[in-house]
Amino acid sequence: MNMTFAPDPPLPTRAWRAVRERGPRYAWHKAMRRALGRWPSWKRRVVYADPRQYWTLRGGRDYFREQEGQVARTLRAEWIAGRLAGYRPTSILEVGCGYGKLLLALRERLDVPLTGLDFSPSQLAVGREFLTSRGVEGVSLFLGRGDRLPFADGSFDMVVTSAVILHNPPEVAERIRREVVRVARRFAAHNEETNLSYNRYGYDTAEWYRDEGIRIAESGPIPMDSDAATSQFCVARLDG
Ligand SMILES: C[S@@+](CC[C@H](N)C(=O)[O-])C[C@H]1O[C@@H](n2cnc3c(N)ncnc32)[C@H](O)[C@@H]1O
């Protein structure tokens, strides 16, 4: 797979390529995502009924190209990685790591064990190629669910989520937060926006920690996010 960013070919070429390379289900899903743009509640029902399936069909090369084509996304990942590195964690797990954009930014700043987990095989497949193509070493990638992490209590010094909990319905989001706190030793860090859309549920994660009686080391918007009112980056201290 070509890991460089090139301009999109015309729509008919992309549509034909989509059917040929990833099958009619993928092409149908992509068409529905576009067609239902103005009907978010229908869009949630039709294309987001199963978040794992959504991220398997939506994830992969298209998603990679879309994200890498936006400078703001790279600046955001670098900003988050810079904040996280400031806490000097000795190991990090990223839950919902996607294709590894944040893991790459973390590796550029920290020489500690990094682990990524995602429930989308297509995201992880691109992630493996992406990180290898950038010469990144010492990152372990796992296929798994954020609400059932396959790790023992306190396995990682820091656990991070970036735009992950917000994509899950309330009962799953609650289980993910509890799993994060279970497998983290000192820090739980989150970039989770609070706005709603067809695939976003919008949670105030910092408030959740406060309600749990867990101290927040920092909380506030990410400078490069377009809407400061709905942007939220927070770091919770789990060691008192
Ligand atoms: C918007 S992408 C963000 C990817 C990455 N964190 C980043 O910042 O570039 C959301 C990712 O979270 C993953 N994800 C969402 N819910 C998940 C869950 N319950 N368990 C595991 N992965 C999940 C999706 O598969 C997708 O790769």
pLDDT at 163: 97
Report in angstroms the alpha-carbon separations of 61 from 104, 117, 148, 194: 17, 18, 26, 27
Ligand 1 pocket test: pick from 54, 115, 118 the residue with the most ligand atoms within 8 Å of its Cβ: 118
- Claim to verify: residue 29 and residue 15 sit in the same structural domain: yes
Q: Tell me what percent of the residues of the chain surpass a pLDDT of 70.
A: 97
- Claim to verify: residue 102 and residue 208 sit in the same structural domain: yes
Residues 6+ apart with CB under 8 A from 5: 65, 68, 69
Number of domains in the chain: 2
Residue after which a domain boundary falls, among 21, 38, 68: 68
- Claim to verify: residue 44 and residue 141 sit in the same structural domain: no
Give CA–CA dist 3/8, Å, rounded: 14
Mean per-residue pLDDT for 199-223?
A: 97
- Claim to verify: residue 31 and residue 146 sit in the same structural domain: no
Distance, CA 169 to ligand 1 centroid (Å)? 13
CA 73 to ligand 1: nearest atom: 9
Is 17 among the domain residues?
yes
Is 4 among the domain residues?
no
Residue 45 confidence class, pLDDT cut points 50, 70, 90:
confident
- Mean of the per-residue pLDDT values for the chain? 92
Is 6 among the domain residues?
no
pLDDT at 224: 92
Distance, CA 118 to ligand 1 centroid (Å)? 6
Give CA–CA dist 29/35, Å, rounded: 10
- What is the domain extent for residue 63? 11-68
Residue after which a domain boundary falls, among 27, 43, 68: 68
pLDDT at 11: 72
Residue after which a domain boundary falls, among 24, 46, 68: 68
Report in angstroms the alpha-carbon separations of 161 from 3, 5, 92, 97, 117: 24, 25, 11, 8, 10
- Claim to verify: residue 46 and residue 150 sit in the same structural domain: no
Give CA–CA dist 119/220, Å, rounded: 28
Q: pLDDT of 108-140, one tens digit each?
A: 999 999 999 999 999 999 999 999 999 998 899
- Cite the beta strand spans of the chain per DSSP E: 92-95, 114-118, 139-143, 156-162, 184-191, 215-220, 233-237
Residue 43 confidence class, pLDDT cut points 50, 70, 90:
confident
Is 2 among the domain residues?
no
Pocket of ligand 1 (CB under 6 A): 51, 55, 59, 96-98, 101-102, 118-120, 123, 145-147, 162-164, 167-168, 172, 176
Ligand 1 pocket test: pick from 119, 142, 197, 225 the residue with the most ligand atoms within 8 Å of its Cβ: 119
Q: pLDDT of 64-101, one tens digit each?
A: 999 999 999 999 999 999 999 999 999 999 999 999 99
Is 90 among the domain residues?
yes
DSSP string, 174-199: HHHHHHHHHHEEEEEEEE-----BTT
What's the CATH number where 216 sits? 3.40.50.150
By the 8 A CB rule, do 104 and 136 touch? Answer: yes
- Claim to verify: residue 92 and residue 168 sit in the same structural domain: yes
Is 167 among the domain residues?
yes
- Claim to verify: residue 63 and residue 78 sit in the same structural domain: no
Residue 162, strand partner residues? 191
- 27-56 as b/e, with b when 16 or more CB fall inside 10 Å? bebbeebeebeeeeeebbebbbeebeebbb
- Claim to verify: residue 155 and residue 78 sit in the same structural domain: yes
- Claim to verify: residue 127 and residue 39 sit in the same structural domain: no
- Claim to verify: residue 102 and residue 153 sit in the same structural domain: yes
Residue 16 confidence class, pLDDT cut points 50, 70, 90:
confident
Residue 210 confidence class, pLDDT cut points 50, 70, 90:
very high
Distance, CA 21 to ligand 1 centroid (Å)? 23
Residue 41 confidence class, pLDDT cut points 50, 70, 90:
confident
CB count, 10 Å around CB of 8?
Answer: 11
Q: Pick the residue whose CA is nearest to atom 26 on ligand 1.
A: 98
pLDDT at 90: 98
pLDDT at 23: 82
- Claim to verify: residue 75 and residue 64 sit in the same structural domain: no
pLDDT at 27: 78
Q: pLDDT of 151-180, one tens digit each?
A: 999 999 999 999 999 999 999 999 999 999
CA 63 to ligand 1: nearest atom: 2
Q: Tell me what percent of the residues of the chain surpass a pLDDT of 90.
A: 76
Q: What is the largest CA-CA distance in the chain?
A: 57
Distance, CA 63 to ligand 1 centroid (Å)? 12
**Would the pLDDT of 22 be above 90?**
no
- Claim to verify: residue 121 and residue 233 sit in the same structural domain: yes
Distance, CA 96 to ligand 1 centroid (Å)? 3
